Each structure stands twice: as structure tokens, then as C-alpha cells.
Structure 1
Amino acid sequence: MQVNKIAWDDTVLPFQLDKADIRGRVARLDGVLDGILKQHDYPAPVEALVAEMALLTALIGQTIKLRWKLSLQVQSNGPVRMIATDYYGPEKEGEPARIRAYASYDADRVDAKAAPMSLIGDGYFAVLIDQGPDMQPYQGIAPLNRESLCAAAQGYFAQSEQLPTRFHVTFGKSTEAGGVEHWRAGGVMLQHMPKASPFASGEGGSGEGGVLMAQDLVDGDDAENWNRANILLDSAEELEMIGPSVSPTDLLFRLFHEEDVRVYDAQPVKFGCTCSEERVRSSLSIYSRKDIATMTTEEGRVTADCQFCGAHYDLDPATLGFEAEKPADGGE
């Protein structure tokens, strides 16, 4: 049965609170999550972690430029070893951005009824921005926070970027009248406009182990504005975040009408993977014929599966590596 599409599903809406000197984004994900999660048979708590990570990726990724790539990654020593997401900026203005995600986990250590964050151990939250050929990628990391993946992302922005940042999100399985059960997610991101923080050159913050927190980075009027905006955001209800009745613009004006909220053009997003046979061949082009032989199956083929979308590639080993034979016309 077809899931009903709501006009603001799979969009990210940027906004600004002029009085508070705060910028932000509202995201609604529906088809994106369906595209990501239907590729895998994750246990429910793993699905929840991937959904939260995809929502964070949409909220953070909206700021990158055309054709840039944002990657988020969680590395953990818990049952969920890794969650990786990619956000590909639009090729042209007005086109959708693309998001993909997957999780790596130890199935025998995952309790299907466990709280999602109980599956995340010690580790780190990483951000990588690829600006394209001939540009040095940016990478930053921060310790994981056992509270939530959102808290880990907030810690990253405070510690690595020294930008007060707040995420307020909700996600879960939803069933509309006459519809089928599917995942939906909605969230709001607040971020104080960049400026010199009072702790920019200090030693440590108020977080565990001296980690900087958002409240460490604002003082005076900025602290008052930041706290007020966060109190207003806390009043957002779950149905306002993901339900069909309240649009993102209505939500923003309900929450922040006294803050001179300014709304910009929404960015559409969709599920999308960049894997291809050409990319597989390129990744194997550094190997010799002898190396390729070690990757060859008993059936005499080299196979590869995309972790993100599940695409399966079946290739002739003679056409792979730097000693490859040129495929015959009409062949591989």
C-alpha cells in the first residue's frame, strides 16, 4: 500500500531568529527513511539509531555548498559498532540533496527490545566534509555521549567548532488512517551565530571530563537569548514535529513568533546512493592480477555489495585491477 506523501515530507527548512542572533533548521523525513531502512533488516533499536543519525545528517548537511559531501560517523565498542551517513549537496540550485546511511552491528549482542543507546558503547562522533577534487577534506571528532546521538552531535559542535548548538528531535514508526506502518522523523536544530566565545581559549568546560557544552560558549545577553530560545523549543510537541497537521512554518511561528523568525527556501532531500560498477572497478584498479585472484569466488567471479543500498556487483576478474584485460565489445 502506498504511503501518503505530505507536502513538507523530506524537506529541510532553514530559518533565523533575528532578535536572538540564532539560526536553525526544521527537518521532516519520511521517504528518505523508507529508502534507507528498507535496504536492511535491522532490529528495531538499530533502526531507531539509524533514523536519528539520518535526521541529524539532514539538519547538519543543509549548510554545505553545492556538490559538497558531508559524512557523519559513529564508532563504538558496543553491539552497534558503526553508523555511517552521507549527505550529498545538490548538483544544482533547486535540486534535492541525497542522503544514505547504514549500520554495522553484532547481531548476537543486540537485544531487539533494548533501549537504542544501550547498544552504543565508548567511542567517538566524527564529521567529515569533502569539498571536492583538489581540496583538503575537513575532519573533526568528539567523544560519544551516552545520552543520545543528538547529544554527541551537540558536544561535537561545542568542542570542535565552539558553536552553541541544540537538537530537538522525535522519530518512530507511524501509521496513518488506511495506511501502512512506516518510519517518520522530525527535528529542529538551533545554532548561535558564530562569534568569539567566552571559553574560546579557556581550559575545559562544564561537561563530563571537562568537555565544552553549549552553555559554556555564551554569556551576557547571548546566554539569555540562547536560554530563552531553548525553553521555547522545549515546548514543541511530538505531533507538531512529525504529524500531518502542522507545517514547519506554522511550528516555527508558534514557537518563535516573538523572536522575529525569518524563513528561507526549503531544501528537498531524498534517499540516494552513489555506488556504481564504475566505482567498484576504480576501487579495485590498484590491485594486481594476483591480488584479484584472492578475491575471486569458487564460481570464478569477483562480487561486491554496497552496504548503503544493497546493490550487488558481479564482475569478471580478468577485467579488474591494473593488469586488467580490456573487455570485449558488448561484454563487461
Structure 2
Amino acid sequence: MTLGSKLAWDDTVLPFQLDMSDVRGRVARLDGVLQGILSQHDYPAQVEALVAEMALLTALIGQTIKLRWKLQLQVQSKGPVRMIATDYYGPEKDGEPARIRAYASFDRDRLTDGAPMDQVGEGYFAIMLDQGQGTQPYQGITPLTGGSLMSCAEAYFAQSEQLPTRFSLSFGKSTEAGGVEHWRAGGVMLQVMPKASPHVTGEGGSGEGGLLAASDLVQGDEEENWNRVNFHLDTVEALELIGPSVAPTDLLVRLFHEEQPRVFDAQPVRFGCSCSEDKVRQSLSIYSAKDIEKMTTDEGTVTADCQYCGAHYVMDPKTVGFEAEDPGES
């Protein structure tokens, strides 16, 4: 296989369905997306790993939703890593890529030498869906649980959506022959088809802290099917997830050939930010001229930096705020 064909699946999400088990899924490979996200910041290694994992989850989850605008995943924590936020913007037109951006807020002095999840304390994992103007945003949250962000996402779907969901992820820095070290990530998401998921009542589940788990939501033939596909997924190897030598289609055949896998059109994803000077001006439009004066630098400008992409905006203080002059009048 040539290098070009090896990399053909980079930065894509491939939807599939396992017809024999009534399970749907996604295979994601991220390469340039992670480089775009992480190269904007000088994150410590543990923070980089958390952002990479969150971005991979966002790509997998975002592709399951018919988006008119934005899906956001967010972690809020009392630990050294205070917040991680990732946005997934659905394609504006058929055939166009989806866009992902991400950033983390953390206290560098509080970081330890421990594992990435050791930097995340008590808090919550949230998924927010915003379909744009004229719609009511939706938010669902679940406590941070398990030893990974992947476990938090699984708990979210069991608790908030009552959809049995499983992730298998791999991510890290890799170096190809003759290349430079860079981040790669790959993963598989499995989910019982929504119509097949029962509504669970009663208090508590078998998960950590009494949260519902996927095993609490399946029974009978559905439980047998779910356990079987998870057994197959348990055999996946990290290098198969990350690639680039194993195509996602080949991986699905290797893992689930008895489940009759059926694939759909792959969705390309790219690093992309939605910030603009107009949006910065809009966010400053609630401030008076006196407030704007307090924000003005010694150089006589108002500046703003995008936390996601690092874009730097410089504006004349007279042209921002609700008392701004019309630039056309000057």
C-alpha cells in the first residue's frame, strides 16, 4: 500500500451499521485536525492528551447527529485542568467537511506528574447541541466518572440518552519513516440503534456512583447482540485504530465480519474556527464607552484573542461598544 493510500482515511469519520446486531457505529481517524488544534497552544503533555481524546470523541459523536450548526462537548473540573471545550460544526453543504476546534483552560502550577485524568478533579461532562437561530439549545450533563473522558461519554449516553454506547480509542504522538513527530488518533464508537433502546425507570444503576451503565439498558436478544459486538471490539489493537496501514473498512471486516457490517459515505473533518472581528465587536456591544476605555491598551487599541485558534484582533476603541462611532462618519 502506498503512503498516499495509507493516508486517504486521515481526518475522516466513517459511519457503519452492523445489520445482524442492530448496532450502529463510527470509525474516526484524526491527523491534521489534531495538529491544527494543538499547534495553536503550548499545552503540557497531559493537557495535550486530554484535548486529543476530547477532540476524537467530538468527531465520533458529532457525526451521529444531523447538525444545522454546532455540537459542543465540555468538561468542567475542580482539578488543575479547569475546563476543556470542543466544538463540532456540521457541514454547511453536502460533500463539505465538518469543522472541529478545541481548547483547554488549566492551572500550570497545579499540574502533577500523574496520568492525564489525574489532572481532572470533581466536576461534570456535558454535551450541548445548538441547531442555530430560532431553536432552543439542548444541554445534558453527567458527573465525571471512570478513568478516562471516554468513560465519561459512555456514562453520559447511558444516563442522559439511555443509549448503550461504547468507545475504543487510541491517540498519541507518532513518527512515520522519514517524517516528523505528530499527533494521531483513531477510534470506534458503537451504539445500539435508538429505536431499540428501552426506557429505564427506577433509582440507580450499576455504574460508578449509581449511574446507569450500558449493561443496564439491554436485555434478551439485544443484550446478547450487544455483548457479542463488544467482545469483538475488545480484540482491536491500538495500531489498528490509529492506522495508517489499516483502512477503516478493513478494520470493520476484521472485527465484525459475522455481524454483516454496512458502511455509508465517509465524512471529512477539518480544523476550523468560527471566530471573526464582527463576532468580537458583537460581544463588546454591551459595554459603554467608559467600559471600553478601561479595556484600551497603552497603544490606544482594544485587543482580543481567540482561545481556540489564537487569532488576534486589534480595534479602534471608538468603533466598539454600544456608544461606538460609525466608522463611515470618520
TM-score bucket of the superposed structures, by smaller chain? over 0.9
Aligned AA for 1:133?
Q
Aligned residues: 327
CA deviation vs aligned residue, 1:61-95 (integer Å, no higher than 9, x gap): 00222532000000000000000000000000010
What SS class does the counterpart of residue 136 from structure 1 fall into?
coil
| 8 Å CA contact retained: 2:52, 2:185 | yes
1:196 Cα deviation (Å)?
A: 6.3
Determine helix, strand or coil for the equivalent of 1:64.
Answer: coil
User: Corresponding residue for 1:114?
Assistant: 114
Partner of 1:174: 174
Residue equivalent to 1:242: 242
Displacement of 1:58 in angstroms is: 0.1
RMSD, matched Cα: 1.5
AA aligned to 1:253 is V
- Please give the alpha-carbon distance, in whole angstroms, between the structure 2 residues aligned to 1:299 and 1:180: 40
1:265 & 1:197 partners in 2: Cα distance? 25
Map 1:52-201 onto structure 2 (within 5 A).
Answer: 52-111=53-112, 113-195=113-195, 197=197, 200-201=200-201
AA matched with 1:128? M
Deviation of the 1:238 alpha carbon: 1.1
Q: Distance in 2 between matches of 1:214 and 1:294?
A: 52
The secondary structure found in structure 2 opposite 1:16 is strand
Question: Which runs of 5 or more structure 2 residues have no equivalent in the other structure?
Answer: none
Within 1, Cα distance between the matches of 2:309 and 2:156? 28
The CA distance in 1 between the partners of 2:138 and 2:7, in whole Å, is 36
1:308 aligns with 2:308: yes
1: CA distance, partners of 2:244 / 2:76: 35
CA displacement 1:21-70 (0-9 Å, x = unmatched): 00000000000000000000000010000000000000000022253200
Q: State how far apart, in whole Å, the 2-side matches of 1:270 and 1:309 are.
A: 13
Give distance in 2, aligned partners of 1:286 and 1:257.
58
Deviations 1:169-227 (A, max 9, x none): 00000000000000000000000012465561222111122110000000111111001
CA contact 2:145–2:208 (8 Å) conserved in 1: no
* TM-score, normalising length: structure 2: 0.96
Q: Which residue of 1 aligns with 2:288?
A: 288
Deviation at 1:328, TM superposition (A): 4.0
Separation in structure 1 between the aligned mates of residue 231 and residue 146 of structure 2, nearest angstrom: 23
Q: In structure 2, give the amino acid aligned to 1:13.
A: L
One-letter amino acid of the structure 1 residue matched with residue 301 of structure 2: R
Partners of 1:118 and 1:296 lie apart in 2 by 39
Aligned pair in 2 of structure 1 residues 265, 196: CA closer, same or farther (>3 Å)? closer
Matched, 1:41 2:47: no
- 1:66–1:92: 8 Å Cα contact kept in structure 2? no
1:273 aligns with 2:273: yes
One-letter amino acid of the counterpart of residue 182, structure 1: H
Residue 299 of structure 1 deviates from its aligned partner by 2.0
TM value normalised by structure 1: 0.96
- Contact 1:121-1:146 within 8 A present in 2 as well: no
Counterpart for residue 257 of structure 1: 257
State the Cα distance separating 1:245 from its structure 2 match: 1.3
Q: Distance in 2 between matches of 1:203 and 1:310?
A: 45
Structure 1 runs of 4+ off > 6 angstroms? Answer: none
Aligned to 1:324: 324
One-letter amino acid of the structure 2 residue matched with residue 10 of structure 1: D
User: How high is the sequence identity, in percent, across the aligned residues?
Assistant: 75
Question: Structure 1 counterpart of 2:310, which letter?
Answer: G
Structure 1 unmatched runs, 5+: none
For residues 165 and 146 of structure 2, what CA distance do their matches in structure 1 show? 18
Question: How far apart in 2 are the matches of 1:17 and 1:60?
Answer: 18
Other structure's SS at 2:293 match: helix
